[in-house]
Structure 1
Amino acid sequence: MTQKTMKAGILIAALVVPALIFLYLKGFGENHYELPYMIPLTDSTTGNIMLRKNPNPKWNQPEMDTVFHTIPNWKLTDENGKEFAGESLKGKIYVADFFFTRCETICPKMSTEFTRVQDTFSQNDDVQFASFSVDPSHDTPEVLQEYAKKYDAKAGKWHFLTGKKSQIYPLAIKGYFIPVADASEYDKAVKTPDETFIHSEKLILVDKDGHIRGFYDGTDKKDVDRLILEIRVLTKIYETKS
């Protein structure tokens, strides 16, 4: 090997190696945070998962993305008696649940855990909370206001929502994928509110684009700890994108 060839080789190495290191660090050297999307959409005719072209694919990402369910638009009434639309939560990370104020079984546990999560993110305006009543004829704005005080809900951060059953029940089932039912509609023997209103203990984490990112047992402290952790992960994901 001639001296000229050696010099050329050294020059190429000096130019190429830093470039390769830069590409490596760019792709792998940053902190990467991941949180799954829930509820992929399927084609009603084929049953196949729906796909769409990735608008900005990176070198290590597929050209096609799975299409995931988004929460539909809704308009209900909040604890102040004012109209509150789901659009108000767009651009926010929020946690939703379905409850009723006369509940004496799982709801007090859920609301207590909700308070704990709210307090954890009390200084983060990008994190909001929404509680939907499954007993809307009883849970008027006035009743919801009293319930909010009981659990130290922060005004403008934790929203309590009521409306018509014909609005809330389909929203729970088709929007948030949470089971809910009024047992009195098919069993006239039920007497107490806890026998009447059937709903889930799940808390639902929704991202800024209306995608569901997780379900958590609102009566289980450890699972709510997981929710707190995953809210932080989702916050970091948005910070790295900005």
Structure 2
Amino acid sequence: MRNSLGLVMAGLFLAACGSSGDTLPVLGQKEAVTRTVDGKTVTDSVDHTIPDFRFVSQYGDTVSAGTLAGKVYVADFFFTTCPTICPKMKTQMKRVYDRFKGNSNVMILSHTIDPTRDSVAVLRDFAQSLGVKDRQWLFVTGDKDQIYDIGQNAYMVSAAEDATAPGGVVHSGAFILVDTQKRVRGIYDGTTPEGVDKLMADIDKLLTEPNE
């Protein structure tokens, strides 16, 4: 399996360039929203945000955007039988989990891209194998089209089925940092210690950033 290029590489570049100062960039294309004010039509430019979603966690309950309301969280995409980059990703994400364990303002959301095989029971066993027994790190499954759609259109990373690839899927090794307003604030290489060191430093920045 290989890391996807395109959108994720652009995001990594923006994250690297924009997060050198005290304020992290807001990634994604702004959207035009038209509304009526005092009888006049006004068009505002608003930041790209993660839309609402409904998936199922390793505990069998529904996870939605409301589950993460007011939280800084890290999202990624994986599958439990992945033979290549996923083990590296989970080793690195475990570092994030251990670093912020017990901090109620930080969560992790890992989406399987193989929901046919990654059932709730499989995800629960996988989470327990990593030592995750709480709700701070949620492993979610659901409709495959919805998972792929939110990855590409909301989190700005990609995955695709590829019969020639190990495990049958090509997907990004990115970790995506989302703020309390559901805005993407950074995309990082989740397969390397350096990328994840940067992610953890940027989480610390977001935790001290005032809500607007």
Q: Same fold (TM over 0.5)?
A: yes
Q: CA deviation at 1:40?
A: 2.6
Matched with 1:14 is none
- Contact residue 98 and residue 133 of structure 1 kept, 8 A: yes
Matched with 2:112 is 133
Q: CA deviation at 1:237?
A: 0.9
Whole-Å Cα distance in 2 between the matches of residues 161 and 91 of structure 1? 19
Which residue identity is paired with 2:194? K
User: How many residues matched?
Assistant: 185
Q: 1:220 to 1:174 in 2, by over 3 A?
A: same
Which residue identity is paired with 1:120? R
| Greater relative contact order (Cα < 8 A, sep 6+) | 2
Whole-Å Cα distance in 2 between the matches of residues 153 and 131 of structure 1? 12
Q: 1:116 to 1:165 in 2, by over 3 A?
A: same
Matched with 1:227 is 199
Q: CA deviation at 1:198?
A: 1.3
More strand by share: 2
Whole-Å Cα distance in 2 between the matches of residues 66 and 223 of structure 1? 31
Percent identity over the alignment is: 38
Matched with 1:100 is 79
Please, which runs of 5 or more residues in structure 2 have no aligned partner? Answer: 1-20, 36-43
| Superposition RMSD in Å | 2.3
- Contact residue 31 and residue 45 of structure 2 kept, 8 A: no
Q: CA deviation at 1:41?
A: 1.8
Instruction: Choose the corresponding residue for 2:47, options 40, 43, 68.
Output: 68
Within 5 Å, give how 1:24-63 maps onto structure 2: 33-41=22-30
- Contact residue 148 and residue 159 of structure 2 kept, 8 A: yes
Query: If the length of structure 2 is used for normalisation, what is the TM-score?
Result: 0.81
Whole-Å Cα distance in 2 between the matches of residues 230 and 154 of structure 1? 25
Matched with 1:27 is none
Whole-Å Cα distance in 2 between the matches of residues 235 and 198 of structure 1? 33
- Contact residue 133 and residue 161 of structure 1 kept, 8 A: yes
- Contact residue 33 and residue 237 of structure 1 kept, 8 A: no
Q: CA deviation at 1:176?
A: 0.8
Instruction: Choose the corresponding residue for 2:146, options 167, 172, 181.
Output: 167
Show CA shifts across 1:28-87 (max 9, x none). Answer: xxxx941111013256xxxxxx899xxxxxxxxxxxx95221001100111011111122
- Indicate yes or no: 2:80 matched with 1:91: no
Q: 1:156 to 1:195 in 2, by over 3 A?
A: closer
Larger Rg: 1
SS at match of 2:126: helix
Moved over 3 A (4+): none
Whole-Å Cα distance in 2 between the matches of residues 227 and 104 of structure 1? 24
More helix by share: 1
Whole-Å Cα distance in 2 between the matches of residues 131 and 149 of structure 1? 14
Matched with 1:208 is 180
Matched with 2:122 is 143
Q: CA deviation at 1:231?
A: 0.2
Q: Which moved more, 1:175-184 or 1:204-213?
A: 175-184
- Contact residue 40 and residue 66 of structure 1 kept, 8 A: no
Show CA shifts across 1:208-232 (max 9, x none). Answer: 1100000000001011000000000
Show CA shifts across 1:90-147 (max 9, x none). Answer: 2100000000000011001101111111111113110000000000000001000111
- Indicate yes or no: 2:189 matched with 1:217: yes
